[in-house]
């Protein structure tokens, strides 16, 4: 009698007081290369897929689902019933691996690939997609979300990159004048209407939140569009500063980084790299220690920077660990000219850098990615280039009809 009452009471308390759940180290990438940009190109001989993986901090196995939503050019999910793909847009009650008991600050791990016949998930539309990690019983509870691209290419895209020097004024140091011009050209297939060609979007490395847009409705000095009144189009993004190779922190050595609290570079601190060309990097990506490794745990990592005296604005840490965003959560603290911040990171390698920015009217303005990092033509960047078409089908949607990756060398 007492035993049965205890079991009933335990279940009752669990229902009233749901456990706290935290998603950590969320990644989305193409195929099995975790450093790759999250885009899949469909229609080829080889099966393409997006991989999603993350850790979960929870006292017992969580009940989660992953919902996929097709989005417009601004990452806003469509509510049009013809674009919802209901029934094949959710992975119900996903399964987890138990992390080794030596791993602190996380308990379970998920890794899954989509589309996958076993999970009954498909991506029928070419464009931007978001996924939402939700509670299985209440999908309005969203623990985390991510972005990726699905492309059904409809035409050949010809891209080129040119080295140029800014001529509008005198630049000092002269490296500030070094820029790239990215040019996208194509001939529209007969099945498309020229008036619906909308814009070209360029994503540098993994900076999804900082797109370079060339809109056919707005020609400027640096963003230019031309059309021959038939089917030949050209979009140019000028004056793109190449920057520098990213900084890296490598936390995989358990003998060197043995404690919970560590410095990113042991006894060294970071300085401006404006006059120093960086080493080859992961083009904005990261490589995490395998989830079933006994040492795939989390460390509290302190990044310390001594910037030049003339830097008076806010300094922010950004990198593969936060999807290259700029936010107050990653603003460095100033202690008499020595700037630092401590963040939790899972063991692995991460590309990162420091950005100078001002906060005004609820947004970050005048983002400066160059002053503390440098700028030179020898930097290797991957430019992901998408051609958008305002497809009138299904009530209208933003469709990607062309895609190309361009590497600067």
Residue 18: pLDDT band by 50, 70, 90 thresholds? Answer: low
How far is Cα 67 from Cα 134, in angstroms, rounded to an integer?
7
What stretch of H or E contains 53?
A: strand 50-57
Of 251-260, 285-294, 322-331, 361-370, where does mean pLDDT reach its minimum? 361-370
Among the listed residues 136, 129, 141, 99, the one whose alpha carbon sits nearest the alpha carbon of residue 294 = 99
For residues 220 and 214, is the Cβ–Cβ distance under 8 A? no
Q: How far is CA 303 from CA 248, 250, 307, 331, 340, in A?
A: 11, 12, 13, 11, 5
How far is Cα 50 from Cα 38, in angstroms, rounded to an integer?
7
Contacts of 162 (CB under 8 A, 6+ apart): 180, 181, 183
Among the listed residues 76, 29, 74, the one whose alpha carbon sits nearest the alpha carbon of residue 52 = 29
Looking at residues 44-64, what average pLDDT do you find? Answer: 92
Q: Model confidence over 340-364: pLDDT tens digits?
A: 999 999 999 999 999 999 877 677 7
Residue 44: pLDDT band by 50, 70, 90 thresholds? Answer: confident
Angle formed at CA 249 by CA 26 and CA 327, multiple of 5 degrees: 55
Contacts of 342 (CB under 8 A, 6+ apart): 261, 300, 301, 302, 303
Cα-flanking dihedrals φ and ψ of residue 11, to 5°? -65, -40
Q: Model confidence over 258-267: pLDDT tens digits?
A: 999 999 999 9
Q: Model confidence over 88-130: pLDDT tens digits?
A: 999 998 999 999 999 989 999 999 999 976 778 999 999 999 9
pLDDT beyond 50 at 1: no
For residues 385 and 159, is the Cβ–Cβ distance under 8 A? yes
Among the listed residues 352, 267, 360, the one whose alpha carbon sits nearest the alpha carbon of residue 317 = 352
pLDDT beyond 90 at 48: yes
For residues 125 and 399, is the Cβ–Cβ distance under 8 A? yes
pLDDT beyond 50 at 290: yes
How far is Cα 201 from Cα 385, in angstroms, rounded to an integer?
6
Residue-level pLDDT at 32: 95
How far is Cα 371 from Cα 375, in angstroms, rounded to an integer?
8
Between the two ends of the chain, the Cα-to-Cα distance in Å is 75
Strands 261-263 and 298-306, bridge-based pairing: parallel
pLDDT beyond 70 at 8: no
Angle formed at CA 404 by CA 401 and CA 409, multiple of 5 degrees: 165
pLDDT beyond 60 at 58: yes
How far is Cα 249 from Cα 246, in angstroms, rounded to an integer?
10
Residue-level pLDDT at 12: 37
Query: pTM for the full model?
Result: 0.92
Residue 372 burial (C-beta neighbours within 10 Å; 0-12, 13-18, 19+):
buried
Among the listed residues 42, 44, 64, 46, the one whose alpha carbon sits nearest the alpha carbon of residue 54 = 64
Q: Which domains does the chain have, with CATH numbers?
A: 19-151 (2.60.40), 158-243+379-407 (2.60.40), 247-368 (2.60.40)
């Amino acid at each position: 009698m007492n035993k049965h009452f205890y079991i009933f009471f335990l279940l009752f308390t669990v229902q009233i007081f749901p456990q706290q759940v935290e998603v950590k180290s969320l990644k989305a990438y193409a195929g099995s290369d975790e450093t790759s940009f999250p885009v899949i190109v469909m229609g080829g001989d080889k099966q393409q897929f997006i991989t999603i993986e993350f850790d979960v901090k929870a006292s017992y196995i969580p009940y989660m689902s992953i919902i996929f939503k097709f989005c417009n050019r601004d990452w806003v999910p469509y509510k049009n019933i013809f674009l919802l793909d209901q029934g094949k847009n959710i992975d119900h009650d996903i399964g987890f691996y138990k992390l080794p008991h030596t791993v602190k600050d996380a308990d379970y791990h998920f890794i899954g690939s989509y589309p996958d016949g076993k999970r009954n998930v498909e991506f029928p539309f070419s464009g931007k997609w978001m996924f939402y990690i939700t509670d299985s019983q209440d999908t309005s509870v969203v623990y985390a979300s991510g972005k990726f691209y699905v492309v059904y290419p409809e035409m050949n895209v010809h891209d080129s990159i040119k080295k140029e020097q800014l001529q509008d004024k005198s630049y000092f140091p002269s490296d500030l004048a070094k820029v790239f011009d990215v040019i996208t050209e194509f001939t529209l297939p007969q099945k498309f209407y020229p008036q619906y060609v909308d814009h070209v979007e360029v994503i540098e490395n993994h900076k999804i939140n900082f797109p370079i847009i060339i809109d056919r409705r707005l020609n400027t000095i640096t963003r230019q569009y031309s059309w021959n009144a038939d089917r030949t189009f050209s979009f140019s993004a000028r004056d793109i500063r190449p920057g520098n190779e990213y900084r890296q922190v490598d936390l995989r050595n358990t003998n060197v980084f043995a404690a919970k609290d560590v410095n990113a570079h042991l006894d060294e601190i970071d300085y401006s790299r404006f006059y120093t060309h960086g080493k080859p990097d992961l083009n904005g990506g990261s490589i995490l220690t395998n989830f079933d490794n006994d040492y795939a745990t989390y460390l509290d990592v302190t990044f310390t920077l001594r910037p030049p005296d003339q830097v008076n604005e806010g300094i922010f840490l950004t990198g593969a660990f936060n999807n290259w965003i700029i936010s107050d959560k990653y603003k460095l603290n100033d202690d008499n000219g020595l700037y630092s911040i401590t963040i939790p990171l899972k063991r692995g390698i991460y590309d990162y850098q420091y950005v100078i920015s001002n906060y005004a009217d609820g947004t970050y303005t005048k983002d400066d990615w160059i002053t503390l990092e440098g700028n030179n033509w020898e930097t290797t960047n991957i430019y992901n280039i998408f051609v958008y078409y305002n497809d009138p089908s299904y009530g209208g949607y933003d469709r990607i009809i062309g895609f190309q990756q361009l590497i600067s060398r």
